[in-house]
Structure 1
């Protein structure tokens, strides 16, 4: 389990567009059709990463708490499924069901979307405002597998609350940490 920090995409960056397979219903979905009225949270996750497994319950709850407030959540898996078959689309659907995801779980087969977002690890979080401008690219909270800190989602929840309330979001954002995205060999 290699600890990899997220890349800090510059705040204000426009969300790169995409159209990907939603493994929960086998339909192609675009960013435009999935975005929220107040904001959009794009999360890069995968099935097998211990950092994602550690926070899965909070990711599920986060969506349930914020979708009704106008922030839609989108999860994307970009891992190389040739070398990590457990992250393949058929298993993504099972993971979504087991963790009660109410958000789409998209498969980035070409890894082009992860590269466009400069995603580096799982989990990696990108919160965009209603105009799809990046306002937060940081960690969920300080909890990591084995560090004894409870998973609360406090950092991301604070950013989401401030976005909804029209308050400034702290520009001093701690990067997320997790397993590196499993890139395909060139």
Structure 2
């Protein structure tokens, strides 16, 4: 497993996923989510039944952590994004999706490279702070670029901090919970 490759995919899923949900028609977005879930379950089913998919298996081996269910993180990512889109709409969902992609990937890379203060399980304070900082930048720059609607730095800090806490302490896959958490904070703040 190559953690940098894995986190690059995570980051791209967040950036591209946010762009898709913010710019396409709702029916197209739901078709996109449905196709991603269908493809992920299909690949998971094929792999767990023992069929050989040489090229795909090589990619999964590079992107998946050892001992984990193949593609589970991508499925959780898509379900969290889909739930956020269905409940909060495209603008808030885009903010939640890009926050997930940016925060989680930056926190993991920074935590493994410079993290020395472990807070919970293998999560480091340095990784979490780096992820929150990157998410603030994404919310203040990328979301207005996509949507034309500004996010204040204070609101970006609040949403990113909520995502950072979920990323650090979630007892379940944080890919499920970060987008709805960010959407909830932004919604309750009136964005």
The answer to which structure has the higher helix fraction is: 2
TM-score relative to the length of structure 2: 0.30
Structure having the higher Rg: 2
TM-score relative to the length of structure 1: 0.30
Structure ranking higher on relative contact order (CA contacts 8 Å, 6+ apart)? 1
The answer to which structure has the higher strand fraction is: 1
